[in-house]
Structure 1
Amino acid sequence: MHRHFIIYKPYGYLSQFYSNSKQQQKKRFLGDLYDFPENAMAIGRLDEKSEGLLLITTDGKTSDFVNSQKVNKEYYALVDGDISEEAIAKLQAGVEIGFEGKKYITKPCKVFKLETIPELPERSKKIRDDRHGPTSWVSITLNEGKFRQVRKMTSAVGFSTLRLVRVRVGAIQLNSMNSGDVIEVNEFSLNF
């Protein structure tokens, strides 16, 4: 029997369970949140400064399927500035970003400005507030996942990302989970 977990990866954690690297010994890892099975793997990754929904499984087939371009992932990004309709249109159509030393055009995706601030747990590290200029929240739904793609995309249209939270993978949503929560689910709960 394979085991599956839904977690809210907190800001400041690496999307791995441990590291033998001396440079990373003081970092925080997923294994600090829960005693995952030895053969568990994170499905996709969130960088250290990103947070939100992360799936963990012991099933390589599930991991491969979710990492394929068949499953959408939705992110909420707090961006620096009041994002324009023009910038949103560019994001929707695809923008040029750097990936592995080469230029890459992102695939068309769903992007819209959130009208209200999403209800998310407070982040452990303070984010600058509106006293330093306006900010806005956008929803970006992708079916690809290049390294730091959402951050690179918002930057490419002139709005750097201040906070990034993955809120959905397929039909699985973050809902009211708190930062650091881990929920073990059965295989039939994984609707993508």
Structure 2
Amino acid sequence: MGRSIQDMPMRIWHMMIAALAFLALSASAVAAQSPIDCSAAPLSVCADKDLLELESERAALIGRIRAADAQHPVLSNEQTWIDGLGACGEDIACYRTAYLNHNQTLREAVAALPAQAEALIELPEAAPTVEEQTSELDALQAERLREAPEGGQTYVEPGLPGWGFFTAIGVTLLMFWMLMRAHGRLRRELRAYESRPGR
């Protein structure tokens, strides 16, 4: 045989590492659409819709404060607070408590803004919740299905939400299939090696 039996497991490990790296990159690309920086935060954090809503609220409150007073003291502490989130690791409850406390501080800062400064600010619209976005997508899909021709063919525009996720799943399944083939080939070669005369 041209290949050493001892080299085969190393090839499989390399393929597994490549598959995991690709999956991590795909997951971070999909999660990059969320308000939390999912390249730094654990995936479990990016999947929590309550945390995403709390982050949206925080961003809106910061925008209101910055528009009223770009030198507001609460803004100087913002980066320190963001850096401190790393201490939560993968503890969702820790993130939630940190956001609830921080957003309460920001709400108090907004309430304390001078009345005339608040009047000059055009307040940003509240970010839509995950449920509202989902219901809008469902309504849009239902409308497209009603407008579809009788043949049942429906045009799907590029950039379908979640497309990166499905691509990542497909590529992961392909990598898994390739690993299983390599594993099967390794087992066959090992059996052939062990059945050689003189062993």
Shorter-normalised TM range: under 0.3
Give the TM-score normalised by the residue count of structure 1: 0.25
User: Hey, which of these two has a bigger chunk of helix by percent?
Assistant: 2
Give the TM-score normalised by the residue count of structure 2: 0.25
